[in-house]
A and B are shown apart, each in its own frame.
Chain A
């Protein structure tokens, strides 16, 4: 297998884009990534696009071809493939692009992610997102997506103890970081009171425990490491790509508040990269809800099970902490355009490793990790990146 590097990144600002379309968003992200990589469109060999539910959100399927077409590449007839794994669609699209280059099948590949969620009302988007879980045996009974994560939270609280303030601190920390990220949906700091006084959505989760509904797109370009310097002075090496799956329904898991797929994908990634937890300088984890970040940092091995609340409260996951978590603001503050999130995480890792993360730069970042979850943990993608 060949070594692979990220040679270009591009991201739209995340937010509620009433005046912009699905096509408009992904074209902006794609063009930015291609410009960043100093490429011409005809040099692209293949595209992979992460998208969860354009069928529900904009009543459009056949996204692979649509994107290639509106990216101006229809005349090149490049293979363009949509990848779907709910909220992990972006992470899996990236992984497919990496595999395609590593295998020698392609040289220059674009991995993109896009979601346009605000063209439907909250009720329809809630219903579409519930499709990330088991529709027949969870959704049918009235299980919402926040409701499923709320059940993880109550299980966690019952078994390990976790204070309301510890959980809220995840959101406060991510908003602090998001306030320093020009593409974030909410560039505003919040206090513990903002979280604990917000509306209950699904007990114990309140509005500020939840990631928002977001429109946005992100794209990256990958190439063989051996030619990467022809395109950029700062190629970022993909040190590991890993993926794992688990039961689709939360009730069938071995342990309600451990995402075994996170554990498996994390272990595989560390094994591939030949690295230990202490080697990681920062990590972008999938905080679709505050409790998800608590579980993620434990499941990836950055602290022991049951200790993530204290770990967060003590500032270990802050920008200047032992292991900065979600420097982008995470899904909570940066926003969560479902299919784009996994690619945005890669963009953030690349910015940090290039030293281009501005006010949220982690000093001397050499190695970073991303963690992207589909559903309540039925799919997880984990990647590790390093400076070259």
Chain B
């Protein structure tokens, strides 16, 4: 991922900043600028999520692309935030520990690097509560 492409999403990746439609009340993370329910009638504002949720489903990744291969095996999951939306994330726990329905909270972590000497990407992972 190129530097500007990462940089412009820093608030979203570091602080779980998503969006909220004031018309219908739905929350979006990853953020959406157009509400799929209200479309042009929707009023979208930024919303910072609490970062608390539960595991909907997961997998343990054993084979990954170069960028993530040093981390294998790592736990990948879909987490449902308390406010409603679901996101894909890594879990900071062992493969034996993870269970569907497990409560988790957001933690700030290094996600990867751009090549050997490139910028470091930080972002959010989730850890058991």
Contact = CB atoms under 8 A, between A and B. Distances in A.
* A and B interact: yes
Interface of A: 122-124, 126-127, 130, 134-138, 140-144, 146-147, 150-155, 158, 199-205, 249-252, 256
A345 B92 CA distance: 41
Contacts of B60: 200, 202-203
B108 interface: no
Of all A-B residue pairs in the complex, the 10 with the closest CB atoms, nearest first, are A150-B59, A155-B57, A251-B86, A127-B65, A203-B60, A137-B30, A142-B68, A151-B57, A202-B59, A123-B66
A290 B36 CA distance: 32
Nearest to A158: B100
Interface string B110-129: 01100000000101010000
Contact of B63 (A126, A140, A154): A126
Interface string B54-83: 001111111111111101001011100000
A360 to B, nearest CB: 31
Given A251-B87, A251-B88, A256-B57, A140 B76 contact: no
B interface, how many residues as a size bin? Answer: 35 or more
Contact of B87 (A137, A155, A256): A137
Given A137-B88, A143-B76, A250-B88, A154 B58 contact: yes
Query: Could you tell me the dominant secondary structure of chain B's interface residues?
Result: strand
Contact of A144 (B57, B61, B78): B61
A161 to B, nearest CB: 13
B88 A138 contact: yes
A126 B58 contact: no
Contacts of A122: 63
B65 A136 contact: no
Contacts of A141: 76, 88-90, 111, 123, 125
B39 interface: no
B25 to A, nearest CB: 17
A154 B95 contact: no
A144 B65 contact: yes
B9 interface: yes
A154 B64 CA distance: 19
B62 A136 contact: no
Contacts of B1: 135-136, 140
6 contacts: A122-B63, A150-B59, A152-B57, A155-B56, A158-B100, A250-B88
A154 B100 contact: yes
A142 B74 contact: yes
A141 to B, nearest CB: 5
Contact of A147 (B69, B71, B76): B76
B77 A151 contact: yes
Contacts of B78: 151, 250-251, 256
A138 B76 CA distance: 10
Contact of A151 (B59, B63, B71, B95): B59
Given A142-B71, A250-B78, A154 B9 contact: no
Q: Which of B65, B86, B112, B125 neighbours the largest number of chain A CB atoms within 10 Å of its CB?
A: B65
Contacts of B30: 134, 136-137, 249
B88 A130 contact: no
B65 A130 contact: yes
